[in-house]
Amino acid sequence: MVMIISGFVLVAALQAYATYIQKARHDEIYDDLSTVQSSIASYKSARGYYPCPADPDLPMSDPNAGKSDCTLLDNGTYPVGTCLNGICKVGGRDADGDGNPDAVLIGAVPYQALKEGSEADIALAQCTDVVTGNPLSTCDANGDGVVDANARLLSIVNYNSNTEDTSLDPWFYKMTYAVTSSMAAPMPLPSGWTGTFDPAHGAISIETPGPSPVSTISPPASAHYVLISHGENHMGAYNREGSITVPCQAGSYDYENCDNLNATFVNGIYSRNNNNQYYDDQIMYSVYSISTLWEFSANGVDIHNVNKGNVGVSKDTPEEALDVAGDLYADTTSQIQICNTSKTNCWSPAFISGDSGSGGGSSCPSGAPAGKFYAASAIRGGALYCDTAAPITPPSGFAGKSCPSGEFLRSVNTDGSLSCDTLPTP
The domain limits of the chain are: 24-109+162-288
The Cβ of residue 216 has, within 10 Å, a number of other Cβ atoms equal to 17
In the three-class reduction of DSSP (H, G, I as helix; E, B as strand; rest coil), residue 153 is classed as helix
pLDDT of residue 360: 62
CA separation for the pair 218, 58 (Å, rounded)? 35
* Helices 2-47, 111-126: crossing angle, 10 deg rounding: 60
Q: What does the alpha-carbon distance between residue 122 and residue 375 come to, in Å, rounded to a whole number?
A: 79
Bridge partners for 312 per DSSP? 323
Q: 29, 283 in Cβ contact below 8 A?
A: no
Nearest to residue 35, comparing CAs of 168, 199, 173, 125? 168
Closest by CA to 72, choosing from 189, 198, 179, is 179
Chain-wide mean pLDDT for the chain?
A: 80
- Residue 177's alpha-carbon distances to 52, 181, 228, 261, in angstroms, are 9, 12, 7, 14
Q: Tell me if 105 sits within 8 A of 178, measured CB to CB.
A: yes
Summarize pLDDT for 272-322 with one digit per residue, the tens.
877 888 999 999 999 875 555 666 676 656 777 766 678 888 887 888 888
Q: Are 249 and 260 in contact (CB under 8 A)?
A: no
pLDDT of residue 155: 33
| CA–CA gap between residue 159 and residue 118 (Å, rounded) | 8
The alpha carbon of residue 405 and the mean position of all alpha carbons in its chain are separated, in whole angstroms, by 51
- Taking only the tens place, the pLDDT of each residue in 382-422 is 677 787 888 877 776 666 677 888 787 777 776 667 788 88
Residues 24-77: tens digit of each pLDDT? 888 899 999 998 998 898 888 888 899 999 999 999 999 999 999 999 999 989
> What are the pLDDT digits (tens) for 179-190?
999 999 998 888
What is the band of 172 on the pLDDT scale with cuts at 50, 70, 90? very high
What is the bridge-based pairing of β-strands 311-313 and 322-324?
Answer: parallel
CA distance 143 to 389: 94
Amino acid identity at 133 = G
Distance CA 108, CA 56 (A): 5
Cβ atoms < 10 Å from Cβ of 236: 22
Question: Which tens digits make up the pLDDT trace of 84-112?
Answer: 999 999 999 999 999 999 999 999 999 98
Residue 423, beta-bridge partner list: none
Q: Is the pLDDT of residue 344 over 80?
A: no
Rounded Cα distance, 258 and 304, in Å: 41
- Antiparallel, parallel or unpaired: β 176-180 and 103-108: antiparallel
User: Under a CB-based contact definition with an 8 Å cutoff, are residues 287 and 202 in contact?
Assistant: yes
Convert the pLDDT of each residue in 363-388 to its tens digit: 788 888 887 878 777 777 667 778 78
